[in-house]
Structure 1
Amino acid sequence: MDTQGIENMLSVLRSTAAQATGKTAESPAAAGGTDFAAVLKNSIDKVSAAQEQANQMAEKLAAGDTSQNLHEVMVALQSASISFQEMVQVRNKLATAYQDIMNMQI
């Protein structure tokens, strides 16, 4: 798992919390961190690329391409499936966190 992305997300959340409490804080991009949206988009792009590669391998195997190994195709398909499930869980956690923040009393 990419811990650098998680650390970057935490720095964005800390910065946002500091701004909400009235403390001045540098933006994550200015502080040397990466933008939360960029990290999220990069992760989604990686999942999409893994799915596309697995689908192409499966299509080649189904078409009779002898260079494709069944074992490798099945591993690629399973890996893409797990990556997608992980992405869905992250989305669910983000949606829950957003709802929790929106329901806070001010």
Structure 2
Amino acid sequence: MSISAISLQNTSLVQKMDEMKEPVIKHNNFNGASPIDFSKALVSVLDGVNTQQAVATDKINAVGLGKSDDMIGAVVAAQKASLSFSALMQVRNKLLSGFDEIMKMPI
């Protein structure tokens, strides 16, 4: 394979990538997208985790009181709540370690 064949192949790959990029940019509207408010996103995530915890608690209580026989649904809801809480804690730990790194930077 010669150098000119490699450069032609690279050029065609770049053109194909550009062609594939255009519909994605138009679909996602990156240029006109409004900025995301961090505090609203954080509150939304916290509300979602809290809702999952409440649903799991309700299902477990219903099974415990004999109001429901959906033991599998209760266990699945509890696992979902546990996973979402664990993920939230990992994100919190990453944010705190990043904040600590910023605070350690010399001015």
Q: Does the pair score TM above 0.5?
A: yes
Give RMSD over aligned pairs: 1.1
CA distance in 2, matches of 1:52, 1:33: 31
TM-score, normalisation: structure 2: 0.67
Task: Report the structure number with the largest CA radius of gyration.
Answer: 2
TM-score normalized by the length of structure 1: 0.67
Unaligned runs of 5+ in 1: 1-30
Name the residue aligned to 2:40. Answer: 38
Q: What does 1:1-106 correspond to in 2, within 5 Å?
A: 32-66=34-68, 68-106=69-107
Q: Which amino acid aligns with 1:91?
A: R
The C-alpha deviation readout for 1:83-106, integer Å capped at 9, x for no partner, is: 001001100000000010111112
Q: Which amino acid in structure 2 is aligned with residue 83 of structure 1?
A: S
Indicate the SS of the match to 1:33.
coil
Mapped to 2, the partners of 1:96 and 1:65 lie a distance apart of 45
Q: Gapped runs of 5+ residues in structure 2?
A: 1-32
Q: CA deviation at 1:65?
A: 1.3
Q: Aligned residues, how many?
A: 75
Give the 3-state SS of the residue equivalent to 1:34 in structure 2: coil
